[in-house]
Amino acid sequence: MQLRRQHGFTLVELTIALAIFSALLLVMTSGVLQLYRIYQAGHEIRDTQEAARTVTQAITDDTHNSIAVAANTPASPPGSPSAICLYQTVQQLTNTLTGVEYYVAVHDTNGTPLSGSLAVHRADVSTPYTIGAAPGCPSPAAGGHDTVLTSSAVVVHAFQAATAAPSPPSVIPELITLKMSVESAYAQQPGDYQDDPLNSGFHQCVAQVNSQYCSITDIQMAALGHAGASL
């Protein structure tokens, strides 16, 4: 009886096949990771742009319905975020202006603050006023109606505002200008961003492979209210 020889793979053949398979797998994995990076970068850019649009549109709409505006920017530390008060009604008997206020504070989820995550808030505001004097912008009242306009996916880096009386001049400001910078959460990683040399107090993404998730949206806007001089 003659035994039939059975041919198999030698150790060398198996090693070569495994090396080829590993190389192909590495190429495929690199391609998938690159596609994911591109998708994630687009997602971060979309988040920052949407957050900036949401805030600026809300402020613009409220400003157009306002009879007076006011901004409060702490003198120190430099670059401190502003609070913006947009007054829409006046109570003549009590000499009180009422409206809404935009300010930056720590974002929270179900009452739990998210460390380092700054968001734009919108709250009701009221302040006494003196006829012939520009109104102030007080600190937000604790426990009042408060809406968070930006999600925890983005961080508000800069939020600086200033007011000016329109032409013809009036002591009651109607014009407000805002400079705002919204960053993706990934942009907070060390080495992903640097100070913007052309825009003091703002950031810009670093052009490096490791900062592919960095996304920063800068906004500069101006909005005009109405009838400020009627106060």
> Are 89 and 98 within 8 A, CB to CB?
yes
| 97 assigned to some structural domain | yes
pTM of the model: 0.74
Q: Which helix (H) or strand (E) holds 100?
A: strand 96-109
Domain count across the chain: 1
| 7 assigned to some structural domain | no
Residues in the chain, pLDDT under 70? 1-9, 76, 78, 108-116, 141-145, 165-171, 186-191, 207-213, 226-231
The radius of gyration of the chain's CA atoms, rounded to the nearest angstrom, is: 28
Q: How far apart are CA 185 and CA 86, in angstroms?
A: 29
Q: CA-CA distances (angstroms) from residue 197 to 166, 177, 202, 204?
A: 31, 21, 8, 9
| 1 assigned to some structural domain | no
Q: Is 34 helix (H, G, I), strand (E, B) or coil?
A: helix
The domain of 191 spans 12-230
Q: In the prediction, which pLDDT does 207 show?
A: 67
| 2 assigned to some structural domain | no
Q: What is the tens place of the pLDDT at every residue in 200-216?
A: 777 777 765 554 567 77
Nearest CA to 161 out of 101, 208, 97 is that of 101
Q: In the prediction, which pLDDT does 21 show?
A: 83
Percent of the chain with pLDDT over 90: 2
CA angle at residue 188 from 49 to 100, to 5 degrees?
Answer: 50
| 6 assigned to some structural domain | no
